[in-house]
């Protein structure tokens, strides 16, 4: 049972809905720790291959840290080891996650979206890292991810002013994967998740590991020559043989994830 989010499983896809619309789905300590547990379980559950994260209601995906709860606590911000919402510092996360952004994605909420692999945004979505305007900095990955995902001068324009951008501009800049009408958001997110889940799961894990870890190498040659455990696991799997066999036999492959 969860208190601050709702969970729904459909086939291989887990949908996580942050359920604090009264505070624009902002997260306090307890909500972040709850989400960390949810994504720990997602990572360890071999029956689940893809996750979608979204926010309850039309107004906000996540407005970041719940500043009222933070001020009332009188403590420094406390997040789980895997970061804000259990995702922004989940560096060992192997499974793909789709963000369905349905309104405000501010501060930690934008950092949460940036930590996902695919970002589907409603036309009404607005992204910002306003921390400098209140004496803070986007230290939950926002500074580092944004400056790697879009051209540096555009990133600095957002980071140094705290200005927000709408979904279409986010798509143009490159941190949004697709923009859809508000009523189409969840269908679009499920389409992306379904397309991912239709692929061989170990191939997806290998692809994500190569893409994320490969960036750390200075050249394409170094990245290609690096060792990736997920690739080795894929090559030793039943699915590695099932895919070509199904292609030759002109049938749909039966992925087992092993």
Active site residue 131: yes
Q: What's the Cα-to-Cα distance from 173 to each of 108, 148, 167, 182, rounded to whole Å?
A: 19, 12, 10, 20
Q: Checking phi first, is residue 237 left (phi over 0); if not, alpha (psi -120 to 50) or beta?
A: beta
β-sheet bridge partners, residue 62: 105
Cβ neighbours for 211, distance < 8 A, ≥ 6 positions apart:
none
Of 10, 111, 149, 254, catalytic: 111
> Can you tell me the distance from the alpha carbon of 200 to that of 39, in angstroms, rounded to the nearest whole number?
21
Q: Using DSSP, state whether 68 is helix, strand or coil.
A: helix
Q: Using DSSP, state whether 128 is helix, strand or coil.
A: strand
Contact assessment for residue 77 and residue 65, using Cβ atoms and an 8 Å cutoff: yes
Contact assessment for residue 100 and residue 183, using Cβ atoms and an 8 Å cutoff: no
Active site residue 111: yes
**DSSP designation for 113:** H
Contact assessment for residue 166 and residue 126, using Cβ atoms and an 8 Å cutoff: yes
Of 8, 34, 41, 131, catalytic: 131
List strands edge to edge, sheet with 126-128.
60-62, 104-106, 126-128, 165-166
Catalytic residues: 111, 131
């Amino acid at each position: 049972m969860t208190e601050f989010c709702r969970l729904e499983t459909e086939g291989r896809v887990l949908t996580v809905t942050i359920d604090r619309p009264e505070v624009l789905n902002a997260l306090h300590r307890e909500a972040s720790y709850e989400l960390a547990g949810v994504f720990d379980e997602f990572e360890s559950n071999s029956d689940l291959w893809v996750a979608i994260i979204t926010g309850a209601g039309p107004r906000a995906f996540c407005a970041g840290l719940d500043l009222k709860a933070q001020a009332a606590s009188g403590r420094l911000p406390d997040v789980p080891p895997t970061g804000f919402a259990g995702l922004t510092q989940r560096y060992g996360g192997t499974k793909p996650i789709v963000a369905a952004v349905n309104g405000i994605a501010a501060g930690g909420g934008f950092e949460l979206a940036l930590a996902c692999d695919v970002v589907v945004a409603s036309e009404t979505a607005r992204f910002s890292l306003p921390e400098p305007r209140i004496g803070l900095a986007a230290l939950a990955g926002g500074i580092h991810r944004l400056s790697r995902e879009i051209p540096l001068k555009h990133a600095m324009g957002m980071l140094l002013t705290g200005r927000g951008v709408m979904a279409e501009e986010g798509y143009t800049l490159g941190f949004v994967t697709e923009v859809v009408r508000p009523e189409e958001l969840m269908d679009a997110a499920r389409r992306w998740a379904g397309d991912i889940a239709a692929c061989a799961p170990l191939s997806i894990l290998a692809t994500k590991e190569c893409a994320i870890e490969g960036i750390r190498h200075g050249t394409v040659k170094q990245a290609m020559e690096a060792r990736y455990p997920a690739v080795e696991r894929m090559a030793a799997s039943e699915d590695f043989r099932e895919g070509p066999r199904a292609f030759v036999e002109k049938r749909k492959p039966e992925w087992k994830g092993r």
